[in-house]
Amino acid sequence: MNNPNAFHRRLSQDIYELLSSMRLAISLLTVLAIASIIGTVLKQNEPYANYIIQFGQFWFQVFESLGLYDVYHSAWFLTILAFLILSTGMCIYRNTPLMLREMRSFREHATEISLRAFSHQAEFASSMPLDTLQDRLGRYLHGQGFRAKVGAPNESGDVLLAAKAGSYHRVGYMLTHAAIVIICLGGLIDGNIPLKAQQLLGWKKIETRDIPQSEVPSASRLSTANLSFRGGVTIPEGAGADVIFLNIADGYLVQDLPFDIVLKKFRVEHYPTGQPKSFESDITLVDKATRESVSRTISVNHPLIYKGIAIYQASFGDGGTKLRMKGWNLFSPAHASFDMQGVIKQTAQLSNGDANYNIEFTEFRKFNIENFANENGDAAGGWQNLLKYVETGSTKVTKKELRNVGPSFQYKIRDAQGQAREYFNYMLPIQLEERWYLLSGMREAPNEPFRYIRIPLDSENRIDGFMRLRAVLLDKQSHPEIARRFAEFALQGEQISAPMLGKLVDSTGRILDVFAAGGYEAMAKFIEKSVPAAEQEKAAQTYIKILESAAVSAWRIAQTKAGQPAVMDDNSLRFVRDSLNTVSDLFSYGAPVYLQLSEFDEVMASGLQLTRSPGKNIVYGGSVLLILGVFFMFYVRERRIWLLVKPKLGTVLFAMSTNRKTMDFEKEFSRHQEQLARLLKE
Amino acid sequence: MELTENYGAQPAFLKTLTWFDWLYALLLVGGSIYALKLYGGNMDEYETGILFLSAAGLIAQGWFWKPFRVLVLVVAAFSLFGISQYHGQLARAEQAFFLKFFFGSQTAIMWMSALFVIATASYWIALLSRSAFTARVSSAITWSAVVMGLVGLMTRWYESYLISPDVGHIPLSNLYEVFILFSILTALLYLFYELRYQNRQMGAFVLLVISAAVGFLLWYTFDRQAHEIQPLVPALQSYWMKIHVPANFIGYGAFALAAAVGVAYLLVSKGMLASRLPSLDMLDDLMYKSIAIGFAFFTIATILGAMWAAEAWGGYWSWDPKETWALIVWLNYAAWLHLRLVKGLRGPMLAWWAVIGLFVTLFAFVGVNMFLSGLHSYGTL
């Protein structure tokens, strides 16, 4: 290179060529598409702890440095986007002047030689005078929707009619490409570039501590002047908020609002099937500057827009429902129930002797709609259903039987070692197989389903009868008494002979002891240990018979003690059997207490999302241009026609061109050719 | 001679309309006014707007493409007759003769499914035996399938209101319903080009794609009971659904059509079935046209989706997996169109691309709901 200036000119020329080239644009489109896939496969903006669990420490850090947890706001993704804007912008800059010239020009200076080089051309003979010809052809072109210009005769007296139609095709090009740039710019404004810059410069810091918002330092707060934001806040009924939280990476920023929002009431409505029908919040805004107040109800798809800030119904939750419960001490069954209070999302203490427990109330649900049909649940496969359809013409499979079984609440009981089990209790009894039970579900890990125990209700539809019976059954001191009563009863009924009485009392007492130590499971183990294998099944049947009968005696004792009637009938027998099952199941319940919900005062919380997006209208404007442009490009076809009238030779040369050859163009050419031939013949 | 008098000028469009065109328009406008009188009390201003714009759209489409008028009138007649048979009771769908065997929504959709499969077989027989008559019969069967599918959607719409007025909604709300729409729109786009090109040889390929959709629909019905009408979750209770979803499926349908043509193109370019299928030029032209129309409608649909998202979710673009895949589909076809239009590229490579494009589209349409989670979670399998 002898001349550095020429080199620089060449280099900048090359860069210009590259940036405005189609090749680069297409490559960028492809890279952008592939990069976008990453963010759909990897869940974005999760808490960082989740990613560490998923990938392990090493890969977590690799992915973090690549910005994969928020791909669409990472520096490299924005760089690709910026290049696409640059490339598209250059493309417009480079081609627009050319296109405008093309649009305006009729190309009336085309020479005969160049016209004869066209792939679509024809020549007609015509003896008409020049004026008539010019007039007819001019009218023909006009009638076909072409705009024509008549050139001056050349030295041999030839006159050229140059015509064009569909010039707006090129406007389509300009509109679409300008639209892309406009949409991307609008998006970047809402992507909050100023905030990104402040973060980069260290002026704003992401807060990662879980502290009250009033204590968040100003480096992590954004003023109301912030141009664009999108964040959320959860407000319990009756409470208010004047900030929202913007979740960024592993922390958040606090965005101050120019108004206070108070949530007066939150409502959920349900369909009969239990699916949610609507979420609505009654909110009041009070402007901090003017003290102006606005009250409105917002719901999904119906936000409130106040001074450029849109307020959306985004989610909901519990805002601290107050619960009043009856607690049944399962470890010392003889105790009467005690009263207990709790608030959802708060923790209560419970102590039983030396052991201390935390009860974390997690959730309250006012409705539970359950499907009671097909309880044994063997749904037919697709093929059987198809065959059934062919036979009966009905696609109905199983009838649904939906029932609202009333409120429920959920809590975790955590012992001093930090081990927790989770419980799910219905407030109201539920009818199963025509009997009423209180259901309580238990699970040891959040990903397991709840296993339910059913507590049978006594003849007064209370839980007390069961608790009394359980107390007697588990009380070792009462076992000799139960065994004695049972044996006497058996003697009376002449089921056994007198000499066997003592033996029956002994074995009944032993069976009760074993059952009281661990339910049916303990009995099974006992039999396995003490009975030869061949006789185990028979022994088990006998033992259960004895246990059930003894339990009837126990029930009589319990009822009499409580001053309740003790008449044995089918109903009571069923109750005793159910009770035995439940007593046995309770051994694996793992909680010191069963909590029975007696009253509640529901407090809901509404999750609001607040957005200020000044770029929105820019994006919408760009979108309109994009749609217009796309239709111009696809459905306005640019065509040119030249008719060179050569009066001396008595011929007309017809040539046609388009910038996009399609089958429609071929058809149109043939049509013109045929029509012109007829027009020029007369 | 006419040509010399007006020098070949094309007559004004309105002058080309016949009495039937005007009658058709009159019926649609009258029907819309009657619907407004009946149900106007339950409609907001957007829905009223959508009602009259749809009527205008149907009129324009019917004037532009004449067979469409007959389709609209036949579907309207069958649907109205079907609805009259319910007597306001849902149970009659399985009792009343005409509902049980023809126009009840489930039955009509089953008719559609069966007819599409029969049409597929028939188009293949026509293709292999070079029988023009069989090909004409295949077209007729496809038209009937479209009619039954549309009638099924109409009566399903009505049935949803019979379940309960607050459950009632346009049947465009879940994967089951949009698969029916997809089959119908793909078939209609094909039928349009079939008449435009006066060529029935492509049906064998296009109907294969539709049959695949029908197969999925049947599995979805009989294995998953997806045909049961479900009430709308709050996020879907919006007039946007009535415009966003159909626009999207015109796009999907057109891309599916382009892929079917792409397969034919590849076969012909390898010399297979070449004597039975249209020329490469025509296939290329058809492929370009369907991608162009698909791209235009997909652009509109994505923009409408963004506007809806701004109203329901608080942001016009959230990089939700469904949104992102819509963008990927859009970028994919934008690149295709750039190569075709600006670079003037032709040939097997673009055909391959159109075929692969359908798989990208399919992933955006079904795969995202199956494998990825996000805001569009109401379309899950």
Query: What was the ipTM of the complex prediction?
Result: 0.94
Q: Between residues A396 and A254, which one has the greater pLDDT?
A: A254
Interface of A with B in 597-616 (CB under 8 A): 609-611, 613, 616
Which residue in the set B234, B303, B338 is minimally distant from A279, CB to CB?
B234
Could you tell me whether strands A251-270 and A221-222 are parallel, antiparallel, or unpaired per DSSP bridges? parallel
Most A-contacting residue of B7, B92, B94, B300 (CB-CB within 10 A), to test interface: B7
Q: Which of B300, B311, B331 sits opposite A29 (nearest CB)?
A: B331
Looking at the DSSP assignment, which residues form a beta bridge with residue A125?
A651
- CA distance linking residue A104 with residue A106, whole number of Å: 7
Q: What confidence score (pLDDT) does residue B3 get?
A: 53
Tell me the chain A residues in contact with residue B339 when contact means C-beta distances shorter than 8 Å.
26
**How would CATH label the architecture of A216-227+229-317+606-612?**
Sandwich (2.60)
Q: Where are the domains of chain A?
A: 4-101, 111-166+641-681, 216-227+229-317+606-612, 322-374+405-601
What pLDDT digit, counting tens, does each position of A241-253 carry?
Answer: 999 999 887 889 9
Range from A65-69, A171-175, A501-505 that averages highest in pLDDT: A171-175
CA distance A487 to A413: 42
CB atoms within 10 A of CB A45: 15
| Minimal-distance CA residue of chain A relative to B307 | A620
Token reading at B210? 């539709």
Instruction: Report the share of chain A in percent with pLDDT over 90.
Output: 51
Cβ contact, residue pair B327, A36, below 8 Å: yes
Give the number of beta-carbon pairs within 8 Å between A and B: 172
Match 């829905």 to its residue by tokens.
Answer: B47
Reply yes or no on whether the pLDDT at A403 is more than 70. yes
A490 pLDDT band (50/70/90 cuts)?
confident
Look at residues A402, A470, A411, A406 and name the one whose alpha carbon lies nearest to residue A438. Answer: A406
pLDDT at A660: 80
- A111-166+641-681 with A216-227+229-317+606-612: one CATH topology? no
pLDDT tens figures, A99-150:
999 899 998 888 899 999 999 999 999 888 888 888 889 999 998 999 999 9
The answer to whether A382 contacts chain B (CB < 8 Å) is yes
CA distance A249 to A208: 9
CA triple A549-A332-A349, angle to 5 deg: 145
pLDDT in tens, A653-662: 999 999 888 8
Cross-chain residue pair A277–B166, CB shorter than 8 Å? yes
d(CA B349, CA B170): 40
Is A300 in contact with B312 (Cβ distance < 8 A)?
A: yes
Q: Give me the residues of B, 2-31, that contact A with CB < 8 A.
A: 3-4, 6-10
- Scanning A451-601, the segments in alpha helix (DSSP H) are 464-474, 479-492, 501-530, 536-561, 570-586
Q: How many CB atoms lie within 10 A of CB B189?
A: 21
**Is the Cβ–Cβ distance between A682 and B305 less than 8 Å?**
no
The pTM of the full predicted model, rounded to 2 decimals, is 0.87
pLDDT at position B68 is 97
| pLDDT tens digits, one per residue of A282-329 | 999 999 999 999 999 999 999 999 999 999 999 898 999 999 999 998
Asked whether A253 and A206 are in contact (CB, 8 A), the reply is yes
Please state, in angstroms and rounded to a whole number, the distance separating the CA atoms of residues B29 and B21.
Answer: 12
Across the interface, whether the CB atoms of B231 and A271 are under 8 A apart is answered yes
Judged by CB atoms within 8 Å, which residues 482-521 of A form the interface with B?
none
Residue of A550, A545, A542, A544 lying closest to A469 (CA atoms):
A550
Q: What is the mean pLDDT of residues A535-558?
A: 91
- Comparing CB atoms, the residue among A33, A302, A616 nearest residue B328 is A33
Structural contact between residues A344 and A407, judged by C-beta atoms closer than 8 angstroms:
no
The answer to whether B335 contacts chain A (CB < 8 Å) is: yes
Cβ neighbours of A279 in B, within 8 Å:
234
pLDDT for the residue numbered A201: 84
Q: B127-147: per-residue pLDDT in tens?
A: 999 999 999 999 999 999 999
Whether chain B has a CB inside 8 Å of the CB on A390: the answer is no
CB–CB contact B9 A139 (8 Å): yes
Question: Would you list the DSSP string of A594-637?
Answer: EEEEEEEE--EEEEEEEEE-TTHHHHHHHHHHHHHHHHHHHH--
Cβ pair B331:A30 closer than 8 A = yes
Contact residues, chain A, for B238 at CB < 8 Å: 301
**Around Cβ A100, how many Cβ atoms within 10 Å?**
13
Q: Which of B106, B319, B328 sits opposite A395 (nearest CB)?
A: B106
B303 touches chain A (CB under 8 A): yes
What is the distance of C-alpha B178 from the center of its chain? 9
- B132 interfacial to chain A (CB closer than 8 Å): no
Predicted confidence (pLDDT) at residue A377 exceeds the cutoff of 50: no
Positive or negative, the CA dihedral A169, A174, A175, A179 is positive
Picking from B223, B311, B335, the nearest residue to A26 by CB comes out as: B335
CB A322 within 8 A of CB A600: yes
Q: How far is A211 from chain B (nearest CA, A)?
A: 27
* Residue B308 near residue B326 (C-beta atoms within 8 A): no
pLDDT of A373 above 80: no
A50-59, A495-504, B94-103, B322-331: segment of lowest average pLDDT? A495-504
Cα atoms in the Cβ-side hemisphere of radius 13 Å centred on B40:
11
Which chain B positions have a beta carbon within 8 Å of A660's beta carbon?
Answer: 341
Q: Which CATH superfamily is domain A111-166+641-681 in?
A: TATA-Binding Protein (3.30.310.10)
* Shortest distance, CA A623 to any CA of chain B (angstroms): 7
**pLDDT confidence of A399, banded at 50, 70, 90?**
low
What per-residue confidence (pLDDT) applies to A119? Answer: 92
- pLDDT digit string (tens) for A220-264? 999 998 888 999 999 999 999 999 999 887 889 999 999 999 999
- Least CB-CB distance to B238: which of A29, A143, A301? A301
Query: Quick one: three-class SS letters along chain B?
Result: CHHHHHCCCCCCHHHHCCHHHHHHHHHHHHHHHHHHHHHHHHCCHHHHHHHHHHHHHHHHHHHHCCHHHHHHHHHHHHHHHHHHHCCCCHHHHHCCHHHHHHHCHHHHHHHHHHHHHHHHHHHHHHHHHCCHHHHHHHHHHHHHHHHHHHHHHHHHHHHHHHHCCCCCCCCCCCHHHHHHHHHHHHHHHHHHHHHHHCCCCCHHHHHHHHHHHHHHHHHHHHHHCCCCCCCCCHHHCCCHHHHHHHHHHHHHHHHHHHHHHHHHHHHHHCCCCCCCCCCHHHHHHHHHHHHHHHHHHHHHHHHHHHHHHHHHCCCCCCCCHHHHHHHHHHHHHHHHHHHHHCCCCCCHHHHHHHHHHHHHHHHHHHHHHHHCCCCCHHHCC
Chain A contact for B377 (CB, 8 A cutoff): no
Q: Is the pLDDT of residue A398 over 90?
A: no
The CA distance from A483 to A490, in Å, is 10
* Touching A: B residues 34-93, CB under 8 Å: none
Residues of chain B in contact with residue A308, where contact means CB-CB under 8 angstroms, are none
Contact state of A634 with B296 under an 8 Å Cβ cutoff: yes
Interface of A with B in 53-112 (CB under 8 A): 71-72
Chain A contact for B332, CB < 8 A? yes
A670/A662 Cα distance (integer angstroms): 13
Q: Which residue's entry shows tokens 């199963």?
A: A432
Q: Which site among A29, A277, A301 would you substitute to test the B interface, given the most B Cβ atoms closer than 10 Å to its Cβ?
A: A301
Mean pLDDT of A665-674: 93
A140 touches chain B (CB under 8 A): yes
Q: Which residues of chain B have pLDDT under 50?
A: 1-2
Q: Is B310 left (phi over 0), alpha (psi -120 to 50) or beta?
A: alpha
Q: Quick one: pLDDT at residue A155?
A: 86
Flag if A613 and B315 touch (Cβ within 8 Å).
Answer: yes
From chain B, the residues in CB contact with A276 under 8 A are 233-234
